[in-house]
Amino acid sequence: MLPDLPIDPRRWMHVLLALIEQNNHRHGVKPKGVSHKTMHDRKVFLISFFRMLRAEGYRMDPRSLGGRHVDHAVKVWIERGLKPATIQTNLSMVRVFATWLGKPASMVKAATHYVPDPALVRRTYTATEDKSWTAAGVSLDLIREKACAIDHRAAAALMLMRAFGLRVKEAYMLRPNVAVIEGRMMVIKSDAWTLEDYLAVVRGTKGGRKRMVPVDTDEKRAALEFAKALTRSTQESVGGPMRSLAQVKRRHYYVMDLLGVTKGALGITSHGLRHEYASERYETFAGAPSPIRGGAGKEVPGDDSARIRVAKELGHVRRSITNAYYGSSANPPKSGGGFGLTS
């Protein structure tokens, strides 16, 4: 048993892997399990974390973790230029690890406790620039044509992300032949669009939150028809039957790299299509441009209701999360041209 092993810094990896094996399935707060992805991310991080501490001179048994080690780690992360969101995620995983050791979670403080300037680790959830493809001057039609020459399923995923605001995982896990529910089958009170068909986004959603997105534009219908044409059965997903989800995602980012759909090449990412969808839906519902596109935000009469509807379509519970997609007030995008890929 692990508790019977003597403290021995030389066997740190053996001890760490044993702790991970015993505890990694547990949720940090709630009495439930976690996903395989969470377990994988934790394991990778913890091994890297203790290797970093050893490289910094702390040749320790993982069970000896204390506040001074966390304090030093945050300093290293800041020196390395890690983003506030990454630092907060790292601290969250260290906090969970501390509870595995029987130590109080409070041993790992909030990120602002470790730095003289809270701005260094304060995560912002409000967009300050338009991350859509349109803002970068990139045409989805042109990228889609190029994608079709490489991988039709990647092209289908891009179309679904743009048309419905889906995440990468949601697009590839979608089963298009069974995901559409006819509007007449829906009973939703006080909605103006009950006669529209709906896309049931169920598989691959964040936090397991299911949502219904209206199929109310020609772009959405075209994206669904394209995806349906690629799938041979009702149970086949856009990712196809021959690859695992991990393989599908690796393939996606490989294709995106070939297409230049990266921050380093065209200044865009796949997720930018979700930002595009959010801004356009806001304008549809509010009757005015989103704040990140020069709109007046809360001064717009329909701002609040528009944010609620956009949040629902994106699969979020809180309306405030839409700030991350298109800003919270009259906040025009940063100046600077796109990349000229518009034909």
Place of tokens 């630092």: 87
Rounded-to-integer distance, Cα 277 and Cα 71, Å:
41
Residue 60 domain boundaries: 2-120
The pLDDT of residue 337 = 39
Q: Is residue 115 located within the same domain as residue 144?
A: no
Q: Is residue 184 located within the same domain as residue 308?
A: yes
125 in a structural domain: no
For residue 215 the two structure tokens come to 């199929």
Closest CA to 307 of 266, 336, 273, 279: 279
The pLDDT of residue 186 = 57
Percent of the chain with pLDDT strictly greater than 90: 61
Q: Is residue 188 located within the same domain as residue 275?
A: yes
Q: Is residue 25 located within the same domain as residue 63?
A: yes
Average pLDDT, the chain: 87
Task: Return the axis-axis angle of helices 152-164 and 272-286, rounded to nearest 10°.
Answer: 30
Q: Is residue 104 located within the same domain as residue 176?
A: no
Asked whether the predicted pLDDT for residue 241 surpasses 60, the reply is yes
Which pTM was predicted? Answer: 0.67
Q: Is residue 174 located within the same domain as residue 301?
A: yes
Rounded-to-integer distance, Cα 176 and Cα 266, Å:
30
Q: Is residue 229 located within the same domain as residue 285?
A: yes
Q: Is residue 251 located within the same domain as residue 116?
A: no
For residue 40 the two structure tokens come to 């994988």
User: What does the buried/exposed string (b/e) look like for 144-180 if buried means 16 or more CB atoms within 10 Å of the residue's CB?
Assistant: bebbeeebbbbbbbbbbbbbbbbbbbbbbbbbbbebb
For residue 287 the two structure tokens come to 């009757």
pLDDT, tens digit, 9 for 90 and up, residues 109-143: 988 888 776 766 666 667 778 999 999 999 999 99
Q: Is residue 155 located within the same domain as residue 77?
A: no
Q: Please report the sign of the dihedral spanned by the C-alpha atoms of residue 114, residue 15, residue 7, residue 59.
A: negative
Strand partners for 199: 180, 213
pLDDT, tens digit, 9 for 90 and up, residues 272-305: 999 999 999 999 999 999 988 888 777 888 888 9
CATH of the domain at 267: 1.10.443
The pLDDT of residue 122 = 65
Task: Assess contact for 9 and 77: CB atoms under 8 A.
Answer: no
Q: Is residue 62 located within the same domain as residue 109?
A: yes
What's the structural domain count of the chain? 2
Phi, psi for 66 (deg, rounded to 5): -140, 180
Q: Is residue 148 located within the same domain as residue 290?
A: yes
For residue 123 the two structure tokens come to 């995560």
Q: Is residue 233 located within the same domain as residue 93?
A: no
